[in-house]
Amino acid sequence: MNDDSTTKNNNREGNTNSDTPEKYGTNGDISKDYDTILKESAVLTTVSGFLFAFLLNISINRPSDFSFEDGIILMIALFTITFATSLLSMPVFYHHLQYPYRNIEKFKLRSHRFIVFGTAPLFITLYLGLLLGLKFGLHLAFDSPVVEYWAYIFSVIPFVSVYIFYRLRK
């Protein structure tokens, strides 16, 4: 018996893993790829949905000392979180519209693009939400209009820290 027939018999019986990377993609399990992508999308959509609800609640029930500048920041934050939520939920919609797939790599690539493009407005919204919170907090603590502008600097610190830690990873 030659080596080719032995390999074919082993592959039919599931004794070797030689067919999985070529046949199913990079990690060998199509359902695992779908599941991972859809779970990531669901988590990010949930986070952005909560943020949207929080910001919408602030816009409906505005505090009495809400300035024009705070209104502009809130409007931009609502716009960016709406955009982020739409993009982050697209892999789920794309999955249901295009199912069943013939090409898992195409699905992974498109879903990855939706998630990557959705994280940018999500980070902008996180920054703007932190900015609004710090402006109100510093205003209440120090009661000085000049101190409120420190909120712009303090709001950048978490994002700069994450970027630094990301660049220092091994």
11 and 85 Cβ atoms separated by less than 8 Å: no
Q: Which pLDDT value is given to residue 143?
A: 77
Q: What is the pTM of this model?
A: 0.71
pLDDT for res 33 = 63
Q: How far apart are CA 55 and CA 52, in angstroms?
A: 5
Helices (H) and strands (E) in the chain, counts: 7, 0
Whole-number pLDDT of residue 18: 42
Q: What is the largest CA-CA distance in the chain?
A: 88
pLDDT of residue 19: 41
51 neighbors 81 (Cβ within 8 angstroms): yes
* Nearest residue to 117 via CA among 94, 85, 144: 85
- Convert the pLDDT of each residue in 101-126 to its tens digit: 667 777 778 888 888 898 899 999 99
Predicted local distance difference test score (pLDDT) of residue 127: 94
Q: For residue 107, which of 170, 24, 16, 48 has the smallest C-alpha distance?
A: 24
Q: Which residues contact 47 (CB under 8 A, 6 or more apart)?
A: 122
End-to-end CA distance of the chain: 49
Q: Which residue has the tokens 């390999």?
A: 7
CB atoms within 10 A of CB 37: 22
pLDDT of 29: 56
pLDDT, tens digit only, all 170 positions of the chain: 454 444 444 444 444 444 444 444 444 555 566 677 777 878 888 888 888 888 888 888 888 888 898 899 999 999 999 999 888 888 877 766 666 766 777 777 888 888 889 889 999 999 999 999 898 888 888 877 778 788 899 999 999 999 999 999 87
